[in-house]
């Protein structure tokens, strides 16, 4: 088995992974593993932009306040302040390497064309039209490819992290690399490195309906959990309120910036309804808007609601939202003349691998940045466009910390991969069936509105599926589809266990059994022994079997 040695291993090629690679390349040799093309990531689909204080009529204090309000009492205020205040320097860095934000690209020295999104008290969202993520990804991929100390390995799917504890080595458990499947050759190899950076993004594909691309299968969460890292606040799944509702429009997001430019949500009767749920109307935070839409759909029996931005001229819409306008038109919807049908869809994980602003996790040698990490910035509900900001700031802080650490580690001999008696699968339909069952179960029972009964039913089904998947994993040679199925099932169980532990309604977690907020906000932590156990115990909400709420 090939074992490749690097100073730093970065898993993932979104904004967090690529910025990590760029910064770490100043300190040593970097390997970037990505399971698809290097530009394919959640970042690539981010339409809105990057929230950052850049004008004199805005302030860090107001940005912090808006973030804390959206986070519904569960943000770590020190973390919020650290990330918000570090934003302008990171924006300047992006501009220095070639990114041109809208407004800034009109003439030298001109100001930004700032957008406003739900929960923001000011216009502070920098954007590149309505394809911000795509532009950021393009610039960063070019930067990484130009650095001689960075090697990007595409179409390589990580199977599991390698730790000293798993290998039976003395001393505390430490991450020393990973096994991966080369999808082009079908061979399994390993990367050995003193430091591993998890930057794999989120897991929207755990749900049946999502705005995320097909790659978002929660791989980093599952990998880190099986290696022994702690999981934090995974019950907080942000459902974006407005995905285009059309049978052929797979996962197409209608950016919150559309509401920032005056679009209002209306029901099947054409009535504006958000004012009945929140004084901020259609610009309320996403958790409130998604629940309101869910309620309106249940009241009317309609499969969707609508966005109305017909008051804006077609010239404005084509200039401000060229990609959204063009895509809607392809599906027969003219935003200037028609109501735009929308539904909520799983969008962002506010929880994740427990990590500091500098990426440090509970597992030595493993760092986490971006959506896969839970730093305390988002609390119970992410403020719109804070995610790319967090990835930029945390990748920089992580590289500064890791780059100052010695790269030596104990001599490690990673064992060759053993396939045992595993044979090629001749029943791919089993994987497809289980994949659909996991996602349908999560959508039906662990969605926008929850109950204990639904969660317990979901946990039973997911645990049974995980046992079946584990047996299949042992009997057949690994494939990308099998590895992704294994991961989404593991993440599904973690989300359900976290939701069962939260006996209140806060932010993105709303349960009919506990409709009120607890007096004292607490994080939900799951700290399992390494290995990613498949618990078979009873569903008694006992923290010893489900995790621990601290």
pLDDT tens digits, residue range 181-196? 999 999 999 999 999 9
Catalytic residue among 286, 320, 439, 502: 286
Classify residue 337 as exposed, middle or buried by CB count within 10 Å of its CB (0-12, 13-18, 19+). exposed
Number of neighbours of residue 166 by Cβ within 10 angstroms: 18
Active site residue 286: yes
Res 174: pLDDT: 94
Contact 340, 259 (CB under 8 A): no
Res 41: pLDDT: 61
Res 464: pLDDT: 96
- Per-residue confidence at 536, pLDDT binned at 50, 70, 90? very low
Q: In the chain, what is the straight-line distance between the N-terminal and C-terminal CA atoms, in Å?
A: 43
Question: Closest Cα partner for 468 from 434, 444, 426, 432?
Answer: 434
Q: What is the pLDDT of residues 59-101, one digit of tens each?
A: 999 999 999 999 999 999 999 999 999 999 999 999 999 898 8
Q: Please state the separation of Cα 112 from the chain's center in Å.
A: 27
Contact 179, 483 (CB under 8 A): no
How many Å apart are CA 225 and CA 548, to the nearest integer?
15
How many Å apart are CA 183 and CA 168, to the nearest integer?
29
- Per-residue confidence at 111, pLDDT binned at 50, 70, 90? confident
Q: Which of 101-105, 278-282, 456-460 has the highest mean pLDDT?
A: 456-460
How many Å apart are CA 393 and CA 52, to the nearest integer?
11
The stretch 414-434 carries a mean pLDDT of 85
Place of tokens 């591993």: 196
What lies within 8 Å, CB to CB, of 299 at 6+ separation is: none
Cα dihedral angle (261, 265, 271, 273), rounded to 10 degrees?
-110
Classify residue 532 as exposed, middle or buried by CB count within 10 Å of its CB (0-12, 13-18, 19+). buried
> Helix 77-96 and helix 60-70: axis angle, to 10°?
120
The two structure tokens encoding residue 53: 């204080």
This prediction has a pTM of 0.89
HSE-up of residue 118 (Cα within 13 Å, Cβ side): 30
Res 539: pLDDT: 35
What lies within 8 Å, CB to CB, of 544 at 6+ separation is: none
- Stronger pLDDT, 110 or 306, i.e. the higher one: 306
Q: How many residues does this entry show for the chain?
A: 550
- Stronger pLDDT, 117 or 507, i.e. the higher one: 507
Place of tokens 């989300």: 495
- Degrees to nearest 5, angle at CA 288 with 284 and 294: 125
Is pLDDT of 548 > 80?
Answer: no
Res 421: pLDDT: 78
Q: What percent of the chain has pLDDT over 90?
A: 72
How many Å apart are CA 133 and CA 141, to the nearest integer?
12
Q: What is the pLDDT of residues 199-217, one digit of tens each?
A: 999 999 999 888 888 899 9
Domains in the chain, ordered, with CATH? 3-235+350-403 (3.50.50.60), 242-347 (3.90.700.10), 421-510 (1.20.58.100)
The stretch 157-163 carries a mean pLDDT of 96
Q: What is the pLDDT of residues 473-497, one digit of tens each?
A: 988 899 999 999 999 999 999 999 9
The average confidence (pLDDT) of the chain is 90
Is pLDDT of 161 > 90?
Answer: yes
Res 46: pLDDT: 59
DSSP string, 382-445: PPTT-HHHHHHHHHHHHHHHHHTS--------PPPP--TT-B--S-HHHHHHHHHHHHHHHHHH
- Per-residue confidence at 365, pLDDT binned at 50, 70, 90? very high
Contact 387, 46 (CB under 8 A): yes
- Stronger pLDDT, 347 or 79, i.e. the higher one: 79
- Stronger pLDDT, 240 or 93, i.e. the higher one: 93
Res 388: pLDDT: 94
Res 523: pLDDT: 97
- 32-41, 155-164, 383-392, 431-440 — which is least confidently predicted? 32-41
- Per-residue confidence at 503, pLDDT binned at 50, 70, 90? very high
Is pLDDT of 534 > 60?
Answer: no
R_g of the chain computed on alpha carbons: 22
Contact 269, 365 (CB under 8 A): no
HSE-up of residue 376 (Cα within 13 Å, Cβ side): 18
Question: Closest Cα partner for 195 from 391, 388, 368?
Answer: 368
Classify residue 491 as exposed, middle or buried by CB count within 10 Å of its CB (0-12, 13-18, 19+). buried
Pairing of strands 150-153, 125-126: unpaired
Contact 71, 149 (CB under 8 A): no
Res 40: pLDDT: 64
Res 105: pLDDT: 60
DSSP string, 444-483: HHSSSSB-HHHHHHHHHHHHHHHHHHHHHHHHB---HHHH
- Per-residue confidence at 108, pLDDT binned at 50, 70, 90? low
Place of tokens 């079997």: 545
Is pLDDT of 219 > 60?
Answer: yes
Query: Which whole-number Å values give the CA distances from 354 to 220, 232, 361, 369, 522, in the listed order?
Result: 12, 5, 6, 10, 14
Q: Which of 45-49, 97-101, 287-291, 503-507 has the highest mean pLDDT?
A: 503-507
Place of tokens 């205040």: 85
């Amino acid at each position: 088995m090939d074992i490749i040695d690097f100073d730093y291993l970065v898993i993932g090629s979104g904004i967090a992974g690529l910025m990590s690679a760029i910064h770490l390349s100043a300190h040593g040799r970097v390997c970037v593993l990505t399971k698809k093309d290097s530009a394919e990531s959640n970042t690539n689909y981010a339409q809105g932009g990057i929230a950052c204080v850049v004008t004199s009529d805005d302030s860090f204090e107001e940005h912090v306040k808006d973030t804390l309000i959206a986070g519904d009492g569960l943000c770590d205020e020190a973390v919020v302040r650290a990330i918000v205040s570090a934003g302008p320097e990171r924006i300047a860095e992006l501009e220095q390497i070639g990114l041109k934000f809208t407004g800034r690209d009109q003439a030298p020295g001109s100001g930004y064309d700032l957008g406003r999104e739900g929960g923001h008290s000011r216009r502070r969202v920098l954007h590149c039209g309505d394809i911000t993520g795509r532009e950021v990804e393009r610039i960063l991929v070019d930067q990484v490819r130009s650095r001689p100390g960075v090697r990007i390995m595409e179409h390589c799917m990580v199977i599991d992290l390698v730790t000293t504890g798993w290998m039976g080595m003395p001393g505390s458990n430490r991450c020393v690399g990973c096994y991966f499947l080369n999808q082009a050759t079908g061979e399994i190899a390993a990367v050995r490195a003193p430091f591993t950076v998890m930057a794999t993004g989120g897991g929207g594909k755990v749900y049946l309906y999502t705005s995320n691309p097909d790659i978002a299968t929660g791989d980093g969460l599952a990998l880190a959990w099986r290696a022994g890292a702690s999981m934090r606040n995974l019950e907080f799944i942000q459902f974006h309120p407005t995905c285009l509702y059309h049978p052929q429009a797979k996962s197409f997001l209608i950016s919150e910036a559309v509401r920032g430019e005056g679009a209002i949500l209306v029901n099947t009767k054409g009535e504006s309804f958000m004012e009945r749920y929140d004084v901020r109307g259609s610009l309320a935070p996403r958790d409130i808007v998604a629940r309101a839409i869910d309620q309106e759909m249940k009241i009317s029996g309609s499969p969707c609601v609508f966005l109305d931005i017909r008051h804006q001229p077609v010239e404005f819409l084509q200039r401000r939202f060229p990609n959204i306008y063009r895509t809607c038109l392809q599906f027969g919807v003219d935003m200037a003349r028609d109501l735009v049908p929308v539904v909520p869809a799983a969008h962002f994980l506010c929880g994740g691998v427990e990590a500091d602003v500098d990426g440090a996790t509970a597992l030595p040698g493993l760092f986490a940045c971006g959506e896969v990490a839970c730093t305390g910035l988002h609390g119970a509900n992410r403020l719109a466009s804070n995610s790319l900001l967090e990835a930029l700031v945390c990748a920089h802080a992580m590289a500064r910390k890791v780059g100052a650490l010695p790269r030596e580690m104990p001599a490690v001999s990673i064992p060759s991969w053993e396939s045992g008696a595993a044979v090629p699968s001749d029943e791919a339909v089993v994987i497809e069936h289980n994949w659909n069952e996991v996602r349908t179960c999560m959508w039906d029972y662990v969605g926008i509105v929850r109950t204990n009964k639904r969660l317990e039913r979901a946990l039973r089904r997911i645990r049974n599926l995980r046992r079946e998947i584990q047996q299949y994993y042992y009997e057949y040679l690994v494939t990308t589809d099998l590895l992704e199925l294994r991961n989404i099932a593991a993440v599904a169980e973690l989300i359900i266990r976290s939701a069962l532990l939260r006996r209140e309604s806060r932010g993105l977690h709303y349960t009919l059994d506990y409709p009120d907020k607890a007096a004292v906000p607490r994080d939900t932590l799951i700290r399992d022994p390494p290995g990613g156990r498949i618990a078979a115990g009873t569903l008694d909400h006992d923290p010893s079997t489900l995790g621990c709420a601290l």
